[in-house]
Structure 1
Amino acid sequence: MVSLKTEQPTLGALRDAIPDHCFERSATRSLLYVARDVLYAGVLIYAASYIDSIPTGSLRIVAWTLYTFLQGCVGTGLWILAHECGHGAFSPSTRLNNFVGWALHSALMVPYYSWKITHARHHRYTGHLTRDTAFVPYTESEFMENRKLSVLDQVHELIEETPLATSVAHLLGHQLFGWQMYMFQYVSAGKESIPGVDDVAKARNLSHYAPNGTLWVPGQGLLIFLTDMGLLMTASVWGYVGWQFGWQKVVLLYVIPYFWVHHWLVAITYLHHTHPSVPHFSPEKWSFTSGALCTIDRSFGFIGRHFMHEIIDYHVVHHLFPRIPFYHAQEATEAIQPLLQEHYHETKDESFLKSLVDTFHRCCHANSNRSDGFDFPGSDSGAS
């Protein structure tokens, strides 16, 4: 194993390097970003109301395609602002944070409090091989234990090396339905990521929508009920739109952008926490700071900076100090980079989408070939 040249800085040293004003949260500034993004969404819906009057069918297809893509980018930005609320980075007011986060996430059919609870566990145990909740890889023994030698699996083994199977079928399924699978079945979470549950694989009722589900500790059921009420309100609004104007309009105006939003969120989260050379740590070797520093900063150009509020570009500092507002993340990152040196991971010179395809392909194969306790170069991990 290759050793790092410099010692990992402490969390306190990193905090001291960041200017105090980077931790200041402004409700006014945050609400202005919400207003901007809501305005974008409204303008796009208004413009879309004229698409069907375009006389040429091919141009209408182009116009609807452009609308759904742009609305997906705007929706992702609103999702991220609600994400700020969930971390308390939106404003100093907990009530305002929760109200805005609940309203925005409900409008996007995202269960706000449910997500907030499990996402907090992800931040608490980032990079932990058994307690993290997002994209936790199997160890070899877990992989073999969960593998079923069915006819379908044998066919899968025959085709999994082909570019079509890996880059198209698997990746599309991952991007289109990964979020829904996490919401309904808690997929990709570590086996000990639920308080009081020894093995997630043996637990029942793992839905983020169930007030009496296994994911919650006593007393949290009411928050899940409030979450579900928000989702029901949004579904009712779009149900009324479909009844009045036709379900095709609902699909074009909302459903396709919905899948765009969650495509971007799955891609962003996956690339922030997955790289062939970045580990997950065994319980014996994990620490909060080590796990947070195994996050990867990436880049998606103008779209990532403007529409997605730079969450792609500056995510390492967010995992170290999640209450830093996104509009201070660049300055905070630049302040800690001299201390981190090779402990800081970034791939901003790569195409975001190319990174998604390459990382997915490489890590899928690595996941089925590594052994327990494998140490990656430059890390002190128990697995990756």
Structure 2
Amino acid sequence: MLVVPGPGFRSSGRWKKFIFSSCPSFSRPIPPPPPSLRFLTSLQRISVFVDLALSSQIHRTVSHHLPNMATATTTETRSRKANGSANGVLKTKAVEYPDIQTIRDAIPAHCFEPTVLHSMAYVVRDLTMAGVLGWAAFTYIPQISDSIVRGLAWALYGYLQGLVLTGVWILAHEAGHGAFSKHQNFNDVVGWVLHSALMVPYFSWKFSHHRHHRFTGHMEKDMAFVPATKEDRQKRRLADLYLDRELFEDVPVVQLVKLLLHQLAGWQMYLMFNATAGPASKQREGGWLRVSHFEPTSAVFRPSEAIYVLITDIGLAIVAYCLYLASTVVGWKTVFLMYGQAYFWVHHWLVAITYLHHTHPDVPHFDAENWTFVKGALATVDRDFGFVGRHLFHGIIDTHVVHHLFPRIPFYKAEEATEAIKPVVGDLYRQEKGSFLGSLWKTFTTCKYVEADPNEPGALKWAESN
């Protein structure tokens, strides 16, 4: 008789054997399948289970500067004991969230002053590196006679060019926030050109990203990586198929496939379907097919923003036509090797950076009644990516907390601003020094859903992994 193991069985580690062999010592029998599934063969049922397991990760389908708030908020916060038990003993203590003006006053005034010369110097530097890499690859790699070595050389080029162009993406991101210069029209021209060159919808993303900053950590209105709740998870259990999805979720190969899909398709899913955004993030009524970042009348945007979305689409169309013209000269294969590889690497880094900034076992989310701007902005994590993070990615990984508090601080002054706010925010400042890519795997496989935090009313903490 086929049986379903209980929770203790799964946590003991023996569940892995269950997938490949029966376990008669566990005695909860499976009722017969519903009539709608009885006609399926065993192989077809397995296919259904795997498809549903793989589909669980991506779910849900203004101004970004909040006015100064002079009200401090007292709450309970969680922290793990430095020398706690293996289970991570928790302790609680009352802390006070400082108001936004107090934090701002701690930062030197010059940190809020971008300059055109300084910012444009980085644009010239990054575009020069991208141009040199592209020229070298186009000129020398085709001359390599050995096909394996030539393929490896193209792969290395794609990786390196992806790093450089991610830096270009970040500079356009600075322009979108108004941190590139004091001149907003100039910022928008620079951002539109750079993002369009990377096939990124500049104004569309600018609007939705501003709302992400405005409502960071808000379980209903945040625009990016709003986690599933315990209730969401229970609703999605495979009760009608009489099999617990957790049997699949913890299988390493399933986790790896889901992570690859997350990294390769996550950005496109967000742009097309508003994936991972909160249920109240839309600006007007519209079905799940009316939330694209490319549609001027999308529910993601206000009516007044439609013209800018159209300008965004024009920029993308120009670049797409240029790629087509290039393909008529050098062929689509060369266009993919020169441009397509870097395109996917940029999206990989973009998804990884954003995901890890807002997903961490110690980072809470908040319900609508208890969320505040400061709580949300401090519910982020600074991480370390070494030389690449500091120099090629312009410190966006290392100084993201202060960036969420004050997005108009230029990246080349964010490190000084970060040091200035640390004494003010105290333990509310979060930093992770571990391996960036190692953290991506660990976070993706452990931070699966949030549940109410009994130590902090209105907060939702990441559930402990089994």
How does the TM-score come out when normalised to structure 1? 0.92
**Post-superposition offset of 1:232:** 0.6
| Greater C-alpha Rg | 2
CA-to-aligned-CA distance 1:134-174 (integer Å, 9 cap, x gap): 100122223344566576x95854321111111x1010000
| Closer/same/farther in 2, CA of residues 148 and 186 from structure 1, 3 Å limit | farther
Which residue number in structure 2 is paired with residue 141 of structure 1?
231
Q: Equivalent residues in 2 for 1:63-142 (5 A)?
A: 63-142=153-232
Partner of 2:30: none
Distance in 1, matches of 2:171 and 2:110, equals 20
Contact 2:237/2:244 (<8 A) preserved: no
Aligned to 2:13: none
Out of 194, 199, 218, the position equivalent to 2:282 is 194
Equivalent AA in structure 1 for residue 275 of structure 2: V
Q: In the alignment, which residue of structure 2 is the partner of 1:54? A: 144
Paired letter, 1:358:
K
- Matches for 1:1-384 after TM superposition, within 5 Å: 2-4=91-93, 6-49=95-138, 50-145=140-235, 154=243, 157-166=246-255, 168-197=256-285, 203-348=288-433, 350-364=434-448, 367=449, 370-371=450-451, 373-375=452-454, 381-384=459-462
The alignment covers a number of residue pairs equal to 372
User: Counterparts of 2:128 and 2:243 in 1: how far apart (Å)?
Assistant: 51
The residue type paired with residue 339 of structure 2 is Y
TM-superposition CA deviations, 1:191-219 (whole Å, max 9, x none): 0011245xx8x544111001121111112
Higher strand share: 2
Cα shift at 1:379: 8.6
Judge conservation of contact 2:133–2:161 (CA < 8 Å) in 1: yes
Distance in 1 (CA, whole Å) between partners of 2:112 and 2:359 is 27
Question: Is the CA contact (8 Å cut-off) linking 2:284 and 2:301 kept in structure 1?
Answer: no
1:303–1:185 Cα change, 3 Å: same
The residue type equivalent to 1:281 in the other structure is F
Q: 2:239 and 2:202 mapped to 1: Cα distance?
A: 38
Separation of aligned partners in 2, 1:56 and 1:295: 47
Query: Which has the bigger relative contact order, CA under 8 A and spacing at least 6?
Result: 1
* Whole-Å separation in 2 of the counterparts to 1:8 and 1:245: 58
Which digits, 9 at most, give the CA deviation of each residue in 1:52-75, with x for residues without a partner? Answer: 101222221221111100100011
State which drifts further: 181-190 or 49-58.
Answer: 49-58
Structure 2 unaligned segments of length 5 or more: list them: 1-77, 79-90
Q: Which amino acid is 1:374 matched to?
A: D
- Does the 8 Å CA contact 1:23/1:324 hold for their aligned counterparts? yes
Root-mean-square deviation (Å): 1.9
**Does structure 2 conserve the Cα–Cα contact (< 8 Å) formed by 1:114 and 1:227?**
yes
**Which is richer in helix?**
1
